[in-house]
């Protein structure tokens, strides 16, 4: 079945309906020149009746605000789909913006041409501010945002700093803390499935792991992968067992990685936690779904998103309100180690 074609209402429809001249409608829409109160009322009614979409032009010229805030997600396909944090962060941002009457506008960057198009969009005045998630160093979108001084918050702590204020957790301290807990269960050969070393979160988790092990750190027990994914856990754990079958402790850089690693450990006949203790990071749904349930680091994902939105809204009130925010994490100890 083909629905009937729909015609978008034009200025001509408004003119015809209102029964005033085209020039009067034009002056009304542009907010320039004289329009009688009677004509204005008829034009308003006509706009409503024919469903004419007012150009946001008029609104922006008056308020200089679009009342929308962008949320830029840099994630390749698998990560975007599998990462439960991004969804929670997004909903936290949405809650804070909705309270302030702002519209959340999510922009996905999956390629270089996406990055360029999104930068153009941000320059176009469609949003009053922006939250950047998983920004990388020398990120094209972050550079565009700095250039136009758009109120912004970066989630995560970009390596090398950058001038944009950020909301972050202390990945380094959290990784050190959970690794110390793992070591304290008596593990002798502790490896790490490290992910996304090009991102602050990935690099800091490896640094925290390294610091916790100190003298006992063995570089050959660190297997790296670009993604925080279930599949990288499946593959990484197989590689770790190949390098040293006596591994008895594993810090996986995310819960999804840990879930994949558990699958491989099970396939190799290793009992968890008897033979191998394993811990993750995020306290996402993955942690609850693992058998046994996963010991992990809880990230306050919703709060992170909320804080990032507040940071942007604060800058919209006063540009000096751009203080960085660090939110606390908690080790959640369950049955996997």
When the beta carbons of 8 and 242 are compared against a copy of itself, the nearer one is: 8
| Neighbour tally for 11: CB within 10 Å | 15
At closest approach, how far in Å is the CB of 234 from a copy of itself?
A: 10
Nearer to a copy of itself, 80 or 217 (CB): 80
Cis peptide upstream of residue 273 (ω within 30 degrees of 0):
yes
Identify which of 311, 307, 309, 304 has the alpha carbon closest to the alpha carbon of residue 89: 304
Cβ 312 to a copy of itself shortest distance, Å = 12
Of 58-66, 175-183, 188-196, 240-248: span binding a copy of itself (CB under 8 A): 58-66
Q: Does 265 bind a copy of itself (CB under 8 A)?
A: no
CA 12 to chain centre: 43
Contact residue for a copy of itself among 84, 280, 300, 305 (CB under 8 A): 84
Q: Which is nearer to a copy of itself, 59 or 189 (CB)?
A: 59
103 binding a copy of itself? (CB under 8 A)? yes
HEC string for 59-82:
HHHHHCCCCEEEEEEECCHHHHHH
CA distance 58 to 60: 6
Instruction: Tell me if 150 contacts a copy of itself by CB under 8 A.
Output: yes
* Preceding amide of 292 cis, omega within 30: yes
Which parts of 292-331 interact with a copy of itself (CB under 8 A)? 315, 319-320, 322-324
Q: Which is nearer to a copy of itself, 124 or 186 (CB)?
A: 124
Write down the residue that tokens 């700093």 correspond to. 161
Shortest Cβ 230–a copy of itself spacing (Å): 7
CA dihedral angle for residue 261, residue 262, residue 263, residue 269, rounded to 10 degrees: 110
Choose between 48 and 244: whose C-beta lies nearer to a copy of itself: 48
Binding range to a copy of itself, per CB under 8 A, among 35-43, 75-83, 235-243, 273-281: 75-83
Whole-number Å distance between alpha carbons of 133 and 145: 13
User: Rounded distance, CA 316 to CA 100, Å?
Assistant: 11
Minimum distance, C-beta of residue 308 to a copy of itself, in the bound complex (Å): 14
User: Does position 1 bind a copy of itself by CB under 8 A?
Assistant: yes
Q: Which of 16, 40, 59, 226 binds a copy of itself (CB under 8 A)?
A: 59
Q: Of residues 191-250, which lie at the interface with a copy of itself (CB under 8 A)?
A: 230
Residue 223 tokens read as 């297997």
Binding of residue 45 to a copy of itself (CB under 8 A) = no
Q: Phi, psi (5° rounding) for residue 144? A: -65, -40
């Amino acid at each position: 079945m083909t629905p009937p074609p729909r015609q978008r209402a034009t200025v001509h429809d408004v003119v015809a309906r209102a029964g005033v001249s085209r020039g009067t409608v034009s002056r009304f829409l542009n907010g320039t020149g004289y329009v009688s109160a009677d004509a204005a009322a008829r034009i308003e009614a006509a706009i409503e009746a024919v469903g004419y979409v007012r150009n946001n032009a008029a609104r922006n010229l008056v308020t200089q605000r679009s009342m929308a805030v962008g949320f830029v997600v840099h994630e390749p396909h698998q990560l975007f789909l599998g990462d439960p944090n991004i969804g929670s962060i997004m909903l936290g941002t949405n809650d804070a913006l909705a309270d302030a009457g702002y519209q959340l506008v999510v922009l996905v960057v999956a390629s270089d041409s996406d990055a360029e198009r999104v930068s153009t969009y941000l320059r176009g005045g469609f949003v009053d501010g922006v939250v950047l998630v998983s920004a990388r160093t020398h990120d094209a979108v972050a550079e565009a945002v700095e250039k136009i001084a758009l109120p912004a918050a970066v989630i995560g702590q970009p390596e090398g700093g950058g001038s944009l204020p950020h909301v972050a957790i202390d990945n380094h301290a959290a990784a050190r803390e959970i690794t110390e807990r793992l070591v304290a269960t008596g593990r002798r050969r502790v490896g790490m499935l490290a992910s996304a070393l090009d991102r602050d979160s990935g690099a800091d988790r490896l640094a925290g792991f390294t610091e916790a092990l100190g003298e006992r750190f063995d570089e050959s027990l660190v297997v790296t992968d670009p993604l925080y994914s279930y599949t990288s856990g499946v593959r990484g754990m197989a590689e770790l067992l190949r390098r040293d079958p006596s591994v008895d402790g594993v810090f996986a850089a995310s819960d999804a990685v840990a879930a994949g690693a558990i699958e491989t450990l099970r396939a190799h006949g290793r009992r968890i936690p008897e033979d191998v203790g394993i811990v993750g990071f995020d306290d996402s749904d993955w942690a609850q779904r693992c058998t046994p349930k996963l010991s992990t680091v809880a990230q306050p994902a919703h709060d992170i998103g909320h804080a990032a939105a507040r940071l942007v809204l604060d800058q919209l009130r006063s540009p000096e309100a751009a203080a960085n925010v660090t939110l606390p994490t908690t080790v959640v100890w369950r049955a996997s180690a």
